Amino acid sequence: MHSDEFYLQRAVALAASNVAGGGRPFAALLVKDDQVIVEAVNTLHISQDPTAHAELLAIRAASQQLGPRLEGCVIYASGQPCPMCLSAMHLCGVTRVVYAASNQQGEPFGLSTAAIYQQLALPLSEQKLAIQHIPQPAMVEIYSDWKACHEPG
């Protein structure tokens, strides 16, 4: 059985390799039952996709193999997951996250997402991003239809 340190060292090595190839210093492994299911690196520099974070790419690839629920899986990341990645981990049921570099360590290099975490902790009305809710009555029926199609039995 491999240790957290073992998997973190692999994530760090992948991050270093990504930097050497012109990318950002982010990599992630998704592990289940002591088996690496996916290794991924941040590919923003290639795809120009701002969501192409290593953790999201690992979740996407693992879901193709394991399905959309990733209970029992651990993500090992070179850096502290950003709010987007952390939210995705919650949504798909990842059991645990282990990371090497904190936001505080990344701050001097412009690699911290602490400010986004701070924004998300505020009520919607106080966030810098303009967020507007315009209720649409049809959505109640659409949600009801969805639930009826997905209820057991």
Query: Residues with catalytic annotation?
Result: 55
The one-character DSSP state at 81 is P
CA distance 24 to 65: 26
Nearest to 59 by CA among 93, 100, 10: 93
Element (H, E) at 6: helix 4-20
Whether the Cβ atoms of residue 53 and residue 60 lie closer than 8 Å to each other: no
Reading phi first (left if > 0) and then psi (alpha if -120 to 50, else beta), residue 130 is in: beta
Residue 110 corresponds to which amino acid? G
